[in-house]
A and B are shown apart, each in its own frame.
Chain A
């Protein structure tokens, strides 16, 4: 033992370096954390079912009220109203009888997480709007969730993007309750908070208004990578 101490200096104060290094490394991860995490989650995704602590597929379930709305296919209806030629009320079986479309897209949450390759199945928003016939005075749409008080809006132009849809299927199965069963808006060009879950009503209106998060300062035009402080 004594040999190892021959001529050695006293203890060195390196603990503070470990502490500061960990803090600075952690803070710096604000800039590289997401890229690193997507590699890690790609590597562990085959094991995910065996790792109960990892959220399935990278989803996090964000809600604004105490309970997730329920779904009864017998009583559920999608209402279309406001500035339309003919108000429409669709039952679930009428909705799924409309021409079906599918898309695979990436879901971006404004808080930073993304889910790649989500397979949505449903109807084009334009097809549903066509049933009601927007009046010339209608320039925007207001989406009302069964989760009170969640609402959000799109301009008619934004709603006309080719891949905007009302989804009743996710990854080949009926839309799960946590993801907005039975119907949610999908607009992959915009952050998740525009993709209203538990959709129950669409109103055509003259001008768009602030949705649930927009009242609290989020951007109304929530383009992925170009809004809410990102990409500016």
Chain B
């Protein structure tokens, strides 16, 4: 870490983030081909796209699990504890009151992480049910497809907000550096994450 910079994300965290981003993008693209009538007509090949989509969904989950198992497991557990904990300042931050000094993650980032993790689980459950329901009517629910599609819309909302803050918004976009190189400027960290103690 360069002088004047502070390490924010471990290699395991970054690998997890970018693997998730890659698979989400790929699954979104193949999923839309299955979902949107215009793409279904122009691109077609539904049976192939369907199995590519299904098996890359399985690969997505396996890769995420493998990264945690092969990476810095303790670090991930520590991160999970950080994301789990909400203090008085987090509530102040969420309700828009200031000052509300934040730790390594601000309350919005914690919520985004928790919801994204929940969506991964729900994508897996609903995707498996869609696949299995085609093979066994006992596993067929009238709303499985609505859940899977609804997750897509909900994830897109999170993603658009996330991309805006990480890439466009001038005050916050420095955070992107933390996810690419692992470190952020001390001075930026002090302003945005005042309660974050360096290791």
Please list the residues of chain A having a beta carbon within 8 angstroms of any beta carbon in chain B. 1, 4-5, 8, 10-16, 18-20, 22-23, 26-27, 29-34, 36-37, 52-53, 55-56, 59-68, 110-113, 177-178, 216-219, 228-230
Docked Cα-Cα span, A31 to B146, in Å, equals 10
Known: A18-B115, A27-B125, A30-B141. A60 touches B146 (CB 8 A): no
Q: Indicate if the CB atoms of B145 and A111 lie closer than 8 Å.
A: yes
Q: Indicate if the CB atoms of A216 and B114 lie closer than 8 Å.
A: no
Q: Indicate if the CB atoms of B46 and A22 lie closer than 8 Å.
A: no
Known: A19-B114, A61-B40. A229 touches B138 (CB 8 A): yes
Docked Cα-Cα span, A33 to B149, in Å, equals 10
Please list the residues of chain B having a beta carbon within 8 angstroms of any beta carbon in chain A. 34-37, 40-41, 44-48, 83-90, 92, 99, 101, 110-111, 114-115, 117-119, 121-122, 125-126, 129-130, 133-138, 140-147, 150-151, 153, 156
Partner of B143, one of A16, A29, A216, A229: A29
9 nearest A-B pairs in the assembled complex, by CB-CB distance: A33-B143, A229-B137, A22-B118, A15-B84, A11-B85, A11-B87, A61-B40, A33-B146, A26-B122
Docked Cα-Cα span, A216 to B101, in Å, equals 58
Known: A37-B150, A112-B144. A177 touches B41 (CB 8 A): yes
Classify the interface of chain B: helix, strand, loop or mixed. helix
Partner of A15, one of B48, B85, B126, B135: B85
Q: Indicate if the CB atoms of B137 and A228 lie closer than 8 Å.
A: yes
Q: Which residues of B contact A62 (CB under 8 A)?
A: 46
Q: Indicate if the CB atoms of B37 and A12 lie closer than 8 Å.
A: no
Docked Cα-Cα span, A218 to B143, in Å, equals 18
Q: Which residues of B contact A230 (CB under 8 A)?
A: 140, 142
Q: How far is the CB of A20 from chain B (nearest CB, A)?
A: 8
CB closest residue in chain A, given B81: A13
Q: Indicate if the CB atoms of A66 and B143 lie closer than 8 Å.
A: no
Docked Cα-Cα span, A29 to B148, in Å, equals 10
Known: A1-B99, A229-B137. A12 touches B143 (CB 8 A): no
Known: A15-B83, A15-B84, A62-B46. A56 touches B37 (CB 8 A): yes
Q: Which residues of B contact A67 (CB under 8 A)?
A: 44-45
CB closest residue in chain A, given B83: A15
Q: Which residues of B contact A219 (CB under 8 A)?
A: 137
In this complex, which of B92, B133, B145 has the most chain A Cβ atoms within 10 angstroms of its Cβ?
B145
Q: Which residues of A contact B141 (CB under 8 A)?
A: 30-31, 112
Known: A8-B88, A15-B110, A60-B35. A216 touches B46 (CB 8 A): no
Q: Indicate if the CB atoms of A29 and B150 lie closer than 8 Å.
A: yes
Q: How far is the CB of A134 from chain B (nearest CB, A)?
A: 32
Known: A29-B143, A34-B146, A217-B135. A61 touches B41 (CB 8 A): yes
Besides A4-B92, A60-B40, A113-B146, 12 more A-B contacts (Cβ < 8 Å) are A14-B84, A19-B117, A19-B118, A22-B118, A26-B151, A29-B146, A33-B147, A37-B150, A60-B34, A66-B45, A112-B143, A178-B37
Known: A13-B85, A63-B46. A229 touches B140 (CB 8 A): yes
Known: A15-B83, A18-B114, A228-B140. A26 touches B147 (CB 8 A): yes
Docked Cα-Cα span, A46 to B136, in Å, equals 37
Q: Which residues of B contact A33 (CB under 8 A)?
A: 143, 146-147, 150
Docked Cα-Cα span, A216 to B137, in Å, equals 11
Docked Cα-Cα span, A27 to B83, in Å, equals 23
Give me 11 A-to-B residue pairs in the complex whose CB atoms sit less than 8 angstroms apart, sorted by A's number: A4-B89, A11-B87, A12-B85, A12-B86, A16-B84, A26-B118, A26-B125, A34-B142, A52-B36, A61-B41, A66-B47
